[in-house]
Amino acid sequence: MLLIRCPWCGPRNEVEFSYGGAADVVYPPDPDALSDAEWGEYVFVRDNPRGPFAERWVHTAGCRRWFRAVRNTVTHEFREES
């Protein structure tokens, strides 16, 4: 069970949240300029690190805001700064 710090509501139980996967995935500025391989990479490939991971969460059952957090995928600890 994770205790997740919503930047607006404070620490809340994991069950109030939904997961949004990797953060900082930027939509390609000019998709038409990408090759099929580059587009496929954008659509399907995400980092999957063992260790600190910047990710998106949404406080579904709370304020319903999306936010970014850095969590260690081995210890499940959230890092304070994000």
Partner 1 sequence: MTDDLMRSPLAGVTFTAPFVRELPFLAMVNLRVGTFPHPLPGPNRVGTLDGRDVLWLGPDEWLVVGPPGDAPAIETLLHQALGDTHGSVVDVSANRTTLAVSGPHARDTLAKGCPLDLHPSVFGPGHCAQTLLARAQVVLRQVDADPTYHVLVRGSFAPYLAEWLADATREFW
Partner 2 sequence: MTHPDRLWRNPCLKWSYDVVIVGGGGHGLATAYYLAREHGITNVAVLEKGWLAGGNMARNTTIIRSNYLMDESAAIYEHAMKLWEGLSDELDYDILFSQRGVLNLAHTLGDVREGVRRVNANRLNGVDAEWLTPDQVKEFCPIVDISPDVRYPVLGATLQPRGGIAKHDHVAWAYARAADRLGVDLVQGCEVTGFVRSGGRVVGVDTNRGPIRAGAVALASAGHSSVLASLAGLRLPIQSHPLQAMVSELLEPVHPCVVMSNHVHVYVSQAHKGELVLGAGIDPFNSYAQRGSVHVVEHQLAAALELFPVFGHAHVLRTWAGIVDTSPDASPIVGPTPVPGLYVNCGWGTGGFKATPASGWVYAHTIAHGEPHALNRPFGLDRFTTGALVDEHGAAAVAH
Binding site for partner 2 (CB under 8 A): 1-2, 14-15, 18-19, 21, 36-37, 40-41, 43-50, 53, 55, 71, 73-76
Q: How far apart, in whole angstroms, are the C-alpha atoms of residue 5 and residue 20?
A: 15
Cβ contact 50:74 at 8 Å: yes
Read off the tokens for 10.
Answer: 């404070």
Q: Is 9 in the site for partner 1 (CB under 8 A)?
A: yes
Read off the tokens for 2.
Answer: 């994770």
Minimum CB–partner distance for residue 12 and partner 2 (Å): 13
16-55 mask for partner 1 (x: CB under 8 A)? x---------------------------------------
